Amino acid sequence: MRSLLTDFAILLPGRARRSALLLLVLLTVGAGLEALGIGLILPFLAILGDGGESRGRGILDALQRTTGVDDKDSLLVISAAALLAMYVLKNVYLGLLKYYQFRFVFGRQVDVARRLMAVYMASPYEFHLGTNSAQLLRNVTDEVRHVFANVAAAMANATSEILVILVIAGLLIWAEPMAALFSIGVLAGVSGLFYASVRRTTARLGREKQEATEEHIRSVNEGLGSIKELKVLGREAAFLHRFDRAGRTYARAQRFHRTVRELPRLFIETIGIGAILLVVLAALLQGDRRGLDGILPILGLFALAAVRLMPSLNRLIGAGTTIRLFRPAVRVVARDLERYELVRSQRSQARTEMELREALRLDGVRYRYPGAAVEALRGLDLTIRQGESVAFVGSSGAGKTTVVDLLLGLLEPSDGAVLVDGRDIQSDLSGWQSQIG
C-alpha cells in the first residue's frame, strides 16, 4: 500500500507542494516562538523570586549590565513589558499562520475537487456504466473534504505539535533533567499505549464509514429518483431501511472517533498533575537547599509547560486518529486523480474532419457490457447511407440503445468497428462527435 505522503504528492502539483513546504517551515518557526514564550517565563520568574536563587541572581546581574539600569523595580517593569511584547508578537504570528494554513488547506480542497470532477466528466461512458454515481458524488464532495479538512489539517497540526512537544520537552530536561525525563517518559509511554490500542479499530471504522457514506448517498439517489415506482409498489420501507443502516454505521465510526479524541486529555491531565506534584515533593523531600523560594521558578516552568504540553500531546494523538480514520479518503481521491493524465492525453488527440459523405457502417460489431455474462450484440453488420432515415425496432433488451450508443461513440465495440466513410470513429472520437446533433 502506498504511503500517505506518496498519495499527497499526487494531490499536490509542483507549486502547491512548494507552498506545503513553506507552510512546514512557518510551522517550525511557530513552534520555536511557542518554546521561546515558555522559556522566557523562567528568567522572569527568577527575577521575581528576588534573585535569591543563583540562576535568578545571574540573570538579574546580566540585565543590569546590559541595560545599565540599576533599580530593580525598573528592571522588573522593563522585563514585564518585554515579555508582553514578545507574547503579542508570537500570537500575532501564530494567528496569521493559522490563516495561511487554512487558506492553503481549503484552497487545495477546491482545486482537487475540480480536478477530480474533471476526471470523472472526461472518463469514458463505459467507466460510468461500471461505477455507481453515488460513489463519484461521495468522492468529489465528502472524500475531498475529508482529505483536506481532516487529514491535511491533522498532518499540519501534528507537525507543529510534535515540534512544540520536542522543544518544551528539551526545555524541561534542561531545567530539571531527572524529574523531566521521568514525567516525559510516563506521558509518552501512556500516550503511545493509548494510540496503539485504538489505531486498528479506527482504521477499520474509517473503511466502514467510507462505504456507509456511499450507501447513504445511493439510497437517497435511488429512493428519491424512483419515488414514482416505489410508491406504486409500496417499497419505500426497504430504501428507508438501507438509508438508516448506512447512517448508523457512519454514526458508530464518528462516535468512536470523537470519544477517542476526548479521552487523552483526561488521562494526560491526571498524569500531568501527578508529575508536577512529584517534582515539588521530590525537591522538598530531598531537603533542597533552595527551599520553596528556589523551586518556585522551576515549578512555574513545569506548570506552564504542562499547560502547554498536555493539550499538545492531546492534539497530537487526536491528529493521529483523525489521519487513520480518514486515510481511505486520501487513497480513493489519489487513485482517481491519477487517471487525470490518462484522460487528458486521450482528449488532446488532434481533432480532424469526420464529416459523413457516403455511409455510416457497422462492421461485425460485437459488444459485451463490462461484467456482463453474455454479449449484447454478436456480430452486427449494418449500413446507413448519407441522408437516409432509420428506425431501430425490437423487443426490450434487444439492443437498440446499445447500437445507438456504439454509433455515438459512447461505447467502444469489443470486436468489429463503426466506420464513417470507411474510417473507424475510434481514430478520432471527438472529431466524429462534433458532427453529431
Which parts of this chain interact with ligand ATP (CB under 6 A)? 129, 369, 372, 376, 394, 396-402
Of 31-39, 45-53, 394-402, 406-414, the segment contacting Mg ion by CB under 5 A is: 394-402
Which residue has its beta carbon closest to Mg ion? 401
Considering CB distances under 5 to 8 angstroms, the limit depending on partner class, which of Mg ion, ligand ATP, none binds residue 273?
none
Quote the least distance from Cβ 361 to Mg ion, whole Å: 22
Reduce the secondary structure of 75-107 to three states and give it as a string.
HHHHHHHHHHHHHHHHHHHHHHHHHHHHHHHHH
Burial of 306 (0-12, 13-18, 19+ CB in 10 A): buried
In the bound state with Mg ion, the residue whose beta carbon lies nearer, of 74 and 401, is: 401
- What region, left, alpha or beta, does residue 131 occupy, with left being phi > 0 and alpha being psi -120 to 50 degrees? beta
Q: Which is nearer to ligand ATP, 217 or 406 (CB)?
A: 406
**Rounded Cα distance, 299 and 305, in Å:** 10
Stretch that binds Mg ion, among 30-38, 62-70, 322-330, 399-407 (CB under 5 A): 399-407
Pick 76 or 410: Cβ nearer Mg ion: 410
Distances from the Cα of 108 to the Cα of 17, 117, 341, angstroms: 10, 14, 18
Q: What is the largest CA-CA distance in the chain?
A: 108
Shortest CB 127 distance to ligand ATP, Å: 12
Q: Given the complex with ligand ATP, which of 82 and 404 has the nearer CB atom? A: 404
Closer residue to Mg ion in complex, CB, 91/401: 401
CA distance 123 to 125: 7
Region of 79-87, 225-233, 264-272, 393-401 interacting with Mg ion (CB under 5 A): 393-401
Smallest gap from Cβ 126 to ligand ATP, in A, equals: 9
Nearest distance in Å: CB 375, ligand ATP: 8
- Residue whose CB is less far from Mg ion, 350 or 393: 393
Q: What residues between 16 and 75 interact with Mg ion by CB under 5 A?
A: none
Site for Mg ion in 400-419 (CB under 5 A): 401
Are 119 and 10 within 8 A, CB to CB?
Answer: no
Please report how close the Cβ of residue 219 comes to ligand ATP at its closest, in angstroms: 20
For residue 420, what are the β-bridge partners?
Answer: 360, 423
386: contact with Mg ion by CB under 5 A:
no
Report how far residue 150's alpha carbon sits from residue 147's, in angstroms, rounded to the nearest whole number: 6
Under DSSP, the state recorded for 151 is I
Contact assessment for residue 341 and residue 393, using Cβ atoms and an 8 Å cutoff? no
Closest separation in Å from C-beta 401 to Mg ion: 3
Rounded distance between C-alpha atoms, residue 151 and residue 157, angstroms: 10
286 binds, among ligand ATP, Mg ion, none (CB under 5 to 8 A by kind): none
Beta bridge pairs of residue 327: none
- By the 8 A CB rule, do 339 and 119 touch? yes
Q: Closest distance between Mg ion and the C-beta of residue 396, in Å?
A: 7
Contact 329, 210 (CB under 8 A): yes
**What is the spatial distance between Cα 315 and Cα 376, in angstroms, rounded to a whole number?**
56
245 binds, among Mg ion, ligand ATP, none (CB under 5 to 8 A by kind): none
* Pick 320 or 416: Cβ nearer ligand ATP: 416
Which lies closer to ligand ATP via its Cβ, residue 390 or residue 398? 398
What are the DSSP E strand ranges found in 257-356? none
Residues engaged in binding Mg ion (CB under 5 A): 401
